[in-house]
Structure 1
Amino acid sequence: MSVLKVIEILGNSTVSFEDAVQKVIDETSKSVKNIKSVYIENMQVTVANNKIAEYRVNTKVCFGILEN
C-alpha cells in the first residue's frame, strides 16, 4: 500500500511554461522527497508592451509519504 500527499505550488519563469514547472520541481525537491508527479492545474502569462513578460503555473505536486 502507498500513501501519497498532494501540495499546491505556484511557479513562474521569464523563459517558458516548461521552465516554470521545472523550477517548481527544483525548489520543491529541496524540502520534499519522493516526488511522483506534477499536475498543471492552470497556466497564465503576464504581458508587458504586448509581449509575454512572465509564464506562471499553478501546480499540484504529488509525493509518497508511505510505501510498502
Structure 2
Amino acid sequence: MSTHEATIYRKTELVGTSSVGFDDAVRHAVARAQKTLRHVQWFEVKEQRGRIDGEAIEYQVTLEIGFALE
C-alpha cells in the first residue's frame, strides 16, 4: 500500500472584468480568487465576451479556477 496521499482539487467558476482587456480581466479574477481561496493552482478560460456601454467596452472572461483541498 502506498503512503502517498492523493491530492483532491475543487473547481469554481468566476467572471473577471476589465476596461483594459481580456488579459487584465483574467488577472483580476485570479487575484480575487487568491484573496479567499488557498492553494489556487490553475485556471481555464471558458468564455470571453464584452459589454458595450456607450463608448466604453467592458471585457468579461469566465474562468474555472482550480485549487487543492486541505
Range into which the TM-score falls when normalised by the shorter chain:
0.7 to 0.9
Q: Does 1:57 align with 2:61?
A: yes
Q: Does 1:29 align with 2:26?
A: no
Higher relative CO (Cα under 8 Å, sequence separation at least 6) belongs to 1
> More strand per residue: 1 or 2?
1
CA distance in 2, matches of 1:48, 1:32: 32
Identify unmatched segments of 5+ residues in structure 1: none
- Code of the residue aligned with 2:12 in structure 1: it is I
The TM-score normalised by the length of structure 1 is 0.86
CA distance in 2, matches of 1:5, 1:52: 35
Using the aligned pairs only, state the percent identity: 20
Identify unmatched segments of 5+ residues in structure 2: 1-5
Equivalent pairs counted in the alignment come to 65
The TM-score normalised by the length of structure 2 is 0.84
Q: Does 1:13 align with 2:18?
A: yes
Structural RMSD (CA): 1.4
- Code of the residue aligned with 1:65 in structure 2: it is L
